[in-house]
A and B are shown apart, each in its own frame.
Chain A
Amino acid sequence: MWNVIKTRFSQGCRTSDFPDGPSGLPERFRGRPVVSSKPCPQGCAACAEACPTRAIRTSERAAVELDLGKCLFCTECVTACPDGHISYSTDHRLAASARADLVMSGPEARLARALDAQARRLFGRSLKLREVCAGSCNGCEAELAALGNVVFDLSRFGVQFVASPRHADGLVVTGPVTGNMRAALKATYDAMPTPKLVIAVGACAISGGPFAGSPQAHDGAESTVPVDLYIPGCPPHPLTVLDGLLRLLGRLPG
């Protein structure tokens, strides 16, 4: 006992300052990409060609379009662009409410919107989530599990992961939805009481990620269940997930 108390003192309080303080993310952290709205040189598609997941579209008239839902944050496009039109910031805020809001064609971000007043009344101060891994690499699970540690401490916001879909308000899906997990994912969704939310976490759950197009998988959660919140990343940083959840609940400003 004495030992526990002594160690408790030496370990101190480690909970992060989120959402009030700085994120403290290091310089090399790859958060929200910054896409310039300047037109590209005629015929250049260097970024699109370098991208491993076809997340970038270039066209004759418009600027680059970068789809955060497919992006692995690998920065191959940054290296490929001869004009420096793409760069990565350390901004961890990425989540969006609509699939189309993840496609960036300029510097502005369309972040997740809050639920309507009634849903916020239901979920705003107490949100219970059930997680289903549908073919992820376990990277997204690792970050979701990290939300429970003393640093991110998800439960201080009234959000908790629960053991049964019957107790859950929301379903968190990771992975591209493998053929072998599709039925289990659907059954979990059906077992939840309404109203219910679905949150797709990670490139895999949004678009299939690195496994897009695999005959063994279904290119994301939307193949099987409707999605209310998209949290991009490979995997998303715990702060990115927290930001998405709190925005959905209307607990972060604009």
Chain B
Amino acid sequence: MSPTSRFRMLRNGGAQQLSAVPVVSAAEFRETVLRAAHSGLRLSALYARPAKGKTGLCAVLADDAEGVLYVLFSEATDEFRSLTADLPQAHLFEREIAESSAIRVDGHPWPKPVRRSLPDSAAFFREEGAEVHEVAVGPVHAGIIEPGHFRFQCHGETVHHLEIQLGYQHRGVEALLAAGPDKRGVFLAESISGDTAVGHASAYCAALEALAGVRAPLRGEALRAAALELERLANHIGDLGAIANDVAFLPAAAFFGRLRGEFLNLLMSLSGNRYGRGLVRPGGTAFDLPKPMAVDFSARLARGRTDLLAIGKLLFDSASAVGRFDETGTVGLRAAADLGLVGLAARASGLDLDVRRDHPHGLYRFRHIPVVKGETGDVYARAMLRYLECLRSLDFLEGLLPDLPGGPALAPCPAPRPGLIAVSLVEGWRGEICHVAETGRDGRLALYKVVDPSFHNWQGLAMALRGGEISDFPLCNKSFNLSYAGHDL
């Protein structure tokens, strides 16, 4: 029996009848998921779902080599034997299940709440010893950033362990989305993580379109892809500036900071908002990109490239900056794979995955973007990859804009069909965004699950600090730049 034969298969942006998804006992569910994961599949989502008045489980696994997704349900159950010891990438999903459902997760090595209860109410991991000391930071930090709590266990300057406790930003997004579909839905999706408004709105709309059984017109898909790449450019460049700032290389920080704005301003010219809010709508995009605007965009992108090359050279030719990046905050290939890292952080450690290539949806089915990956898994790799990915996105946009598909950008998106499950993946600038939606018999949403890439990757940051120094933290943190809001929902 192949490791996936018990699952129901679907593709990114596809839907299946709920009744067609196999339902197995909790014990078999555990074994089946484990076997599939050990055969090379990745856990994209694992969550509790209503099953016959009680609670069961659902797993969504991604086969990146074949470009397909697999779903499996468990029967209603009161308890579940934790997968985490055998499958570390399940650790946060299981904590989420334990805090949000009636299911008891047995044998989890670190069974703490994720976001529902007051985050600092549970004990932190603690190292004992004469010269061991503890450093606690947050939730309110010294800059203009989101709240989170960081607890370091140190010996001298060396960090032995970092525990990251989030949840302060929990505002109940999934429950509000599950009350839909309604007119608030797409705005909530844009507000899952405000720096990824295009990415999350695209995932939400693709899920709704899958449930309705329609596809956005190709021009709409092309504009979504253009906006997604502009979002990637703005954020990657902003992060390069933040990384330069944290090694006190201020000229590059200032130049990158300004250049980030140029890409936000492109999004604003297109959508009226610097973060692309208001652009992506179920059925396509609310704004079109007429020819003269495309010509103007191409010229602005060309200027952006010239600046990016100049500032990139300034940063990466600076021996003292690069010296600080090298071998700081290293996450090895094995750790990255075990933790289930996604996106840029995973590629920096050498994992070869990218939703745009592996599970192409929308325009990415027709226009490809080469995947770049690193090897060293350190700050240098994450910074360099940001720079290289920017160049790939510029190539993509420069090819796309003069050659946008014709037709309308927006078509009607009917109401969802009843009794379905839909999965949509989008490669946001941080990595894989996964939305799972289920509809009830009435065609209303019965469940809405959001997995931001940060949910997978925060543990990567904690690992990056091991054996490093506390003073490495800001730099490591910027090199990941993860979302608190996307994690906390």
**Residues on A facing B (Cβ under 8 Å):** 3-4, 7-8, 10-11, 14, 25-26, 28-30, 50-53, 72-76, 88, 131-146, 148-151, 161, 163-164, 175-176, 178-181, 183-184, 188, 204, 209-211, 214-217, 234-235, 237
Q: List 15 A-B contacts (CB under 8 A).
A: A7-B251, A11-B255, A11-B258, A29-B273, A52-B183, A132-B140, A133-B144, A137-B485, A138-B483, A149-B254, A161-B144, A181-B139, A210-B191, A214-B172, A234-B277
Q: Which residues of A contact B271 (CB under 8 A)?
A: 28
Cβ of B331 to closest chain A Cβ, rounded Å: 23
Q: Which residues of B contact A142 (CB under 8 A)?
A: 194-195, 275
- Chain B's closest residue to A76 (CB) is B183
In the complex, the 10 A-B pairs of residues with the closest C-beta atoms, listed nearest first: A139-B194, A216-B172, A163-B142, A137-B194, A28-B272, A149-B257, A137-B191, A214-B172, A52-B184, A138-B194
CA distance A131 to B172 in the complex (A): 23
| Least CB distance, A189 to chain B, in whole angstroms | 11
Kindly state whether residue B143 has any CB partner on chain A within 8 Å.
Answer: yes
8 Å CB interface, B274-319 against A: 274-275, 277-278, 287, 307, 310-311, 313-314, 317-318
Asked whether, in the complex, the Cβ of B307 is within 8 Å of the Cβ of A11, the reply is yes
Residues of B120-174 contacting chain A, CB below 8 A = 139-140, 142-147, 167-173
The answer to whether the Cβ of B443 comes within 8 Å of any Cβ in the partner chain is no
Contact A217 B171 (CB under 8 A): yes
Question: Are A184 and B139 in contact, with the CB atoms below 8 A?
Answer: yes
Known: A28-B269, A150-B254, A188-B140. A133 touches B145 (CB 8 A): yes
Per the bound structure, the CA–CA distance linking A111 and B142 in Å amounts to 31
In this assembly, does B176 line the interface, its C-beta being within 8 Å of a C-beta of chain A? yes
CB pair A216–B170 under 8 Å, yes or no, is yes
B270 contacts the other chain (CB 8 A) = yes
Residues of chain A within 8 A of B278, CB atoms compared: 30, 73-75
Chain A residues in 8 Å Cβ range of B314: 3-4, 7
- B residues near A, CB below 8 A? 115, 118-119, 139-140, 142-147, 167-173, 175-176, 182-184, 187-188, 190-195, 197, 251, 254-255, 257-258, 260-261, 265, 268-275, 277-278, 287, 307, 310-311, 313-314, 317-318, 483-485
Q: Does A150 contact B483, Cβ atoms closer than 8 Å?
A: no
Residue of A with least CB distance to B235 = A142
A235 to B175, CA, bound (A): 23
Q: Which of B168, B197, B258, B273 touches A135 (beta carbons < 8 Å)?
A: B168
Shortest beta-carbon distance, A155 to chain B, in Å? 13
Contacts of B194 in A (CB 8 A): 136-142, 235
The residue from A7, A51, A146, A216 contacting B311, defined by CB atoms under 8 A apart: A7
A137 touching B193 in the complex, CB below 8 Å, given contacts A4-B314, A7-B310, A180-B167: yes
Instruction: Find out whether the CB atom of A53 lies under 8 angstroms from the CB atom of B145.
Output: no
Which B-chain residue is minimally distant from A161 (CB atoms)?
B144
Q: Which A residues are in CB contact (< 8 Å) with B272?
A: 26, 28-30, 73, 75, 88
Chain A residue at minimal CB-CB distance from B249: A4
Report the separation of the CA atoms of residues A138 and B168 in the bound assembly, to the nearest whole angstrom: 13
CA distance A52 to B270 in the complex (A): 22
Contact between A211 and B274 (Cβ–Cβ < 8 Å)? no
* Pairwise interchain contact A180-B268, C-beta atoms closer than 8 A: no
Chain A residues closer than 8 Å to B146, beta-carbon distance: 133, 136, 138, 141
Q: Indicate if the CB atoms of B484 and A138 lie closer than 8 Å.
A: yes
Smallest Cβ distance from B319 to chain A, in angstroms? Answer: 11
Q: Which of B147, B260, B265 has a CB less than 8 Å from the CB of A184?
A: B147
Are A139 and B147 in contact, CB atoms less than 8 angstroms apart?
no
Enumerate chain B residues within 8 angstroms of A11, measured Cβ to Cβ: 255, 258, 307, 310-311
Complex interface: chain A residues within 8 A of B118 (CB): 179-180, 183
Task: Say whether A164 contacts B142, CB under 8 Å.
Answer: yes
**A76, B302: Cα distance in complex, Å:** 34
- Cα–Cα, bound, A214→B170 (Å): 10
Are B317 and A181 interface neighbours, CB within 8 A? no
The answer to whether A211 touches B144, judged by C-beta atoms less than 8 angstroms apart, is no
Chain A nearest CB, measured from B305 CB (Å): 14
Q: Smallest CB–CB gap between A164 and chain B, Å?
A: 7
